[in-house]
Amino acid sequence: FTWMGAEVTVIGPEHIRNGSLEEFDMLVMPGGCWCDVHCQILDQEEMDAVREFVQEGGAYFGIDGGASYATSWRTNMFKGTLYADAAETGKHLIQVDVNQTLLNPNLSTEPMNYTLFYEASGYFMADDMSDILTICTYQDTGLPCMIAFEYGEGRLFLSSPHPELEEGSLR
């Protein structure tokens, strides 16, 4: 985000608990811990604060494990599930196709596909996907791997594979 000119502040759960989120435009939850009961990044009070932040107009950018925190089993902002291992387990590069038909956001000038880092990444599914924008799908299966949607006054972007700084690199 820094290379795009955004100001970046690294915060921890204590900032979320004490109401500091209101000082920011976006909360980025990076990868790391996935859907494991032994890894509680946020407790219920903190998840409620994140949900309130987004509902009142904040943005949430979740990658991998950070995306899983937006699903129905944690903060419940995405009324669906992030299913693991869309293209087998392990770490490798994978092709994703960009939904160039979207006009808001306008993705018509994006490349048709990207090569991204896959680490047992998953796909998103909900009973009702009508208000969910599919940003990218896995090229080999067509399953949604990047989505965007509104929640209250806020918005979310969730990506199961890692959109790393160097696309196409395992570094």
At residue 90, the pLDDT reads: 76
At residue 145, the pLDDT reads: 95
Q: How far apart are CA 48 and CA 56, in angstroms?
A: 12
Q: Residues in the chain with pLDDT < 70?
A: 32-41, 164-171
Average pLDDT score, the chain: 86
At residue 38, the pLDDT reads: 42
At residue 101, the pLDDT reads: 95
Q: What share of the chain is helix, strand, coil (3-state, %, to 5)?
A: 15, 35, 50
Question: How much is the CA Rg of the chain, to the nearest whole Å?
Answer: 16
pTM of the model: 0.89
